[in-house]
Structure 1
């Protein structure tokens, strides 16, 4: 019995030791994301119908101002997407490392952050033709003891954006001048660090010269005169295995540099400091405030009544009227939610130019559409898209598409399936079908309408707090 027990213990110890050795001896093999990027080139992007681009939420890249999407990179990307015949989907990130990961994993197609081209980054991705040049400057306050010479940086602490090229530039400066200082990486974008300098939370940061100059126009107490690194080329990044996309973007860049379009945008966002100041410091900007429009309070009230996220309802209002209470369409629709006279009368709106009355009339119409579709499409997210299409083109046309979806074996509870048949309502084969009651319709316009609102809503969700 004792020998049996000893034998069992020996086997158990050996097994445990053997397993331990196995684990110690193994080296986990982790594939670097840049070594085998997802194969997804221009043809696949065009077939999918949209291109994904990573941007910053900053005064020079992408932000919301009075409900409108703006920014240097945003306007260029929107123009590029139009030329490629696709829609633009934006991903807001400040982490550059994560941006390269998403790019190579196929979660994004472009990193549009005006990245400096260097050998380390060339391992991670390919770069487009340069979109310009940017230098790097030290950001400090004028009312403190200012750094006027590189040797004044001795024993200082400089806070920089994580994964930015600034760290290597500062290391080169230390090596060249024999000065020692600390560099602390922080998550977030450069403008958040500049704001910390303004607030006195940190003494120094480093940023692109143009970003520093733009911010110095807002804050008189900022100094951005000290150069850390001279100008160098900046560009967008794309996957290494997307040659056709790279070629198309480079052709677009060459054409727009030659036409002056890119220079015009540069002047708009970097040289017109007065307009930039008002946009970036407005309470209706995602950079300085958390408001979308002057009507946020009544939009929130309407959204609560409807059971929607208020930012979704704000997206619909922007799409309809750009928050203009006096807006009138060519067809006679009026008010914040552009209601037709018959709808105004039906839902008791006496003064369509009154923001609250107009908005609540539209909300009551949306509630009617929600009730109309609730049993057929129980899932709220899918139903909302169908409601939006109904609001745009009329629920009769959308109901026809729903019936066609049912007849041809599609998923009648899925917006994409319904949308496919709504787009077919301009084809005689479908609008003459016996199940169709409302006839011909330019259904693709309603589908694009829904896409526009949902894309804007995604932007509001990312940039504006609930």
Structure 2
């Protein structure tokens, strides 16, 4: 957490060793009891300069691969799962941005800001969408977009007769904050300006985590963005969020320094969405509609409050056991098909949780498609049939699941055609990436009229997107919902 002092480099051999020992002792003390800003001001970062040579990756490469990777955190204002649906202020902004860029959105969920900057510079992510207050220190790690808005910060404590009302009352107190957040420098400025001393303890975790610790009386004080505090105070009425730590300042997203085309395109998008009022509307949805926010974040079907995806989790788990799948993968398929609506009926006549056509319902013994368990098990039996169909052709389980999902969407005959084309053109028919290429080509008469093709024309690109949608959703379920 802490580094060796700058003066150390000017010491002689024995002095340097003595200084190192002292610093290590200080590290132990402050790791246990927190730190004060006077100590931090004499230190510098001696970690590897991961930001010096960022990965060479800009907008052209992102468009070529077809998706953009963004880092968000799992919080009531950024990104979470509610009744199977992905939600959050940052998520909806990013989804709109990806659509504007003509690419798909892949999310990376992190609360560790330092790790997020490392992933960005290593080329493992393209944007950090965490609404950063821009500081000179952070400009060392990345470039920042034009502002998406502004946020202030407040102290969060419980409502008590001895609750703090003025910053000067922080004297000798201990404040817990998110590691690598801007709150540290704000608190240090407060100490300098007021001439007071208090301890600051940095830990990993997002703002919701620290607020929950205050609610549970595990810690007395934390500091978070004011809008996050306001959202949490709607469903934790015993929170006191009245003390301002820092007034409003602009917040932005981070991008790699050597991605000027991406930066330019994002800035153009932000200005456009700000002009149309889209950002303000989205802000109101998540930060100003406290009633809706309360229900979304406190529902047992929210990844923030419970560990359930839908009211049908128990029977989904039963079906997944029968199928040999992770139940969260089956839940992802069901959400994609019906949004967990047992009465849903498609324009083509498909019904039930897994949207089975009448001929399939009859084939797999489903008499009442509106009965959740009966409908689900009919779909599971169909998935088992598809698994058996592909098992010898695609022995590896993780790859075979993609073939099964595509077959569920477009029919296994069309996927088999793509599999045959893959063999014909000397690609690997056991790898979905190769087969999906030819499935997308089934809109082209040069391919769907090929003699090896038996099922003819198909909008294969829709099936490929269908598979990716389910796997992206599954990835979120897997990270946010326990098995």
Q: Same fold (TM over 0.5)?
A: yes
Q: 1:192-216 CA deviation, whole Å, 9 max, x = no partner?
A: 1100100111100000000011111
CA distance in 2, matches of 1:85, 1:152: 52
1:152 positional shift: 1.4
Aligned partner of residue 283 in structure 1, secondary structure: coil
- Tell me the TM-score normalised to structure 2 length: 0.90
Shift of 1:145: 1.7
Residues of 2 paired with 1:144 and 1:102: CA distance? 45
TM-score normalised by the chain length of structure 1: 0.93
Alpha-carbon distance in 1 for matches of 2:442, 2:211: 53
Q: Which residue of 2 aligns with 1:451?
A: 468
Q: Which runs of 5+ in 1 are unaligned?
A: 1-28
Match of 1:73 in 2: 90
Distance 1:187 1:126 in 2: 23
Aligned counterpart, 1:386 = 403
Quote the offset at 1:428 in angstroms: 0.4
5 Å-filtered alignment, 1:78-89, equals: 78-89=95-106
Partner in structure 1 of residue 296 of structure 2: 279
Displacement of 1:132 in angstroms is 0.4
- Pair 1:289–1:431, CA change in 2 (3 A): same
Determine which of 332, 335, 338 is the counterpart of 2:349: 332
1:100 aligned onto 2:120: no
1:405 is matched with which residue: 422, 425, 428? 422
Distance of 2:246 and 2:461 partners within structure 1? 50
Equivalent position of 1:318 in the other structure = 335
Q: Distance between the aligned counterparts of 1:153 and 1:250, measured in 2? A: 39
Where do residues 46-445 of structure 1 align in structure 2 (5 Å cutoff)?
A: 46-143=63-160, 145-445=162-462
Distance 1:365 1:144 in 2: 63
Q: Once the two structures are superposed, what CA deviation does each residue of 1:413-444 show, in whole Å capped at 9, x if it has no partner? A: 10011100100111101111111100000000
Q: CA deviation at 1:30?
A: 7.6
Encode CA deviations 1:386-431: one digit per residue, 9 max, x unaligned.
0000000000000000000011101011001110010011110111
Q: Which residue does the alignment assign to 1:463?
A: 480
CA distance in 2, matches of 1:413, 1:97: 39
Larger Rg, first or second structure (1 or 2) = 1
Aligned partners of 1:152 and 1:250: how far apart in 2? 41
SS of the equivalent of 2:71 reads strand
Deviation, structure 1 residue 154: 1.2
Residue-by-residue CA offset, 1:210-268 (whole Å, 9 max, x unaligned): 00111111111001010001111100000000000000000000000000000000000
Partner of 2:125: helix, strand, or coil?
coil
SS in 2 for 1:133: strand
Give the SS at the match of 1:124.
coil
Query: Cα distance, 1:31 vs. partner?
Result: 5.2
The offset of 1:143, in angstroms, is: 2.7
The SS at the match of 2:111 is coil
Alpha-carbon distance, 1:56 to partner: 0.7
List, as ranges, runs of 4+ consecutive aligned residues in structure 1 with deviation greater than 2 Å: none
Q: Distance between the aligned counterparts of 1:297 and 1:410, measured in 2?
A: 41
SS in 2 for 1:201: coil
- Aligned: 1:33 with 2:39: no
Provide, for residues 175-203 of structure 1, a one-character-per-residue CA deviation record: whole Å limited to 9, x for no partner: 11111111001111111110010011110
Aligned mates of 2:168, 2:256 — CA distance in 1:
41
RMSD (CA atoms): 0.9
Task: Please say if residues 61 and 71 of structure 1, whose CA atoms lie closer than 8 Å, have aligned partners that are also in contact.
Answer: yes
5+ residue gaps, structure 2, are 1-45
8 Å contact kept, 1:45–1:51 = yes
Aligned residues: 438
Q: Give the secondary-structure state (helix, strand or coil) at the position aligned to 1:461.
A: helix
Residue by residue over 1:282-305, the C-alpha shift from the partner in whole angstroms, topping out at 9 and shown as x without a partner, is 000000000000000000000000
CA displacement at 1:151 relative to structure 2: 2.2
Q: Distance in 1 between matches of 2:332 and 2:345?
A: 18
Query: Contact between 1:136 and 1:207, CA under 8 Å: does it hold in 2?
Result: yes
Kindly tell me: are residues 274 and 30 of structure 1, through their superposed partners in 2, closer, same or farther at Cα, counting changes over 3 Å? closer
